[in-house]
Amino acid sequence: MERPKAIHLHKIPGLMPDCDGDMYHYKYRNQWADYQETQKFYQQFPPEIGQTVVVLRTFWQEMLKPHVVEIEVIHERGGIIVNHNHQDYAGTLFLRNGQNWKAKRSQTWLVPAELYKDIPKKKEDRWERYNHSEMIAEELNTNDLINMLGGQERFKSAIDNMMEDGRTYSEAKKLLALELASEKEAMSTGFIRGATRTQNRFGKRLY
């Protein structure tokens, strides 16, 4: 059977490297369904170096900008290695079903380009493009982050994990602030109602 052809994802607005992901809507995908489809696809058409794949990530019920990349290495055990933008928690090695090897329960996974048909839709107005989380993140200082995480040890551990991928302390701190701010924003809008909220060092809910 001939391998299906993929659309030219690198040329699609919203997926091109220089496109701002905050300016586009990305269709929310079912991670578990993608695992099954990717497994079936690679059983028929084994991955090869240089083929295009799409690395996907969700964050608080939102699909982030997918990263269109090429396979760099096929691991000796059959895994797929790509250098992608979502490495803050997930690694570069993916299993044949698209699951990330380092963080198997993470919200980061991979699909072959041939299975990705979702065309991003551009957001219409300034209010829709406005990122509330970034505004909140700018207001958070180190003490705020320590309190939100429940203590200095947790803060240090979170920063160390983010710096393992080559980030500076300032970059890691900014990313941590943005993620905590996004969580706070999601809580305030009811997206994750019923989830365990971030607690301060005294075990009290912050919001």
pLDDT of residue 134: 56
The pLDDT score that the predictor gives to residue 153 is 87
Residues 10 and 67: their CA atoms lie apart, in Å, by: 10
Question: How high is the pLDDT of residue 46?
Answer: 95
- Judged against a pLDDT cut of 50, whether residue 72 lies above it is answered with yes
Instruction: Give start and end residues of each alpha helix (H) in 45-189.
Output: 126-129, 132-138, 142-149, 152-163, 169-189
**Which band of pLDDT confidence, cut at 50, 70 and 90, is reported for residue 45?**
very high
> For all residues of the chain together, what is the average pLDDT?
80
The Cα 77–Cα 73 span in angstroms is 11
86-141: pLDDT as tens digits: 777 788 999 999 999 988 888 899 999 999 999 999 887 544 544 555 555 555 77
- Residue 90 has phi, psi (to 5 degrees) of -95, 150
Q: Between 103 and 205, where is the model more confident?
A: 103
Q: Which residue has the higher pLDDT, 137 or 25?
A: 25
Question: How confident is the model over 155-188, as pLDDT tens digits?
Answer: 888 888 888 767 777 777 878 887 777 666 555 5
Measured over the CA atoms of residue 7, residue 8, residue 10 and residue 16, the dihedral's sign is negative
Helices (H), ranges, the chain: 31-44, 126-129, 132-138, 142-149, 152-163, 169-189
pTM above 0.85, yes or no: no
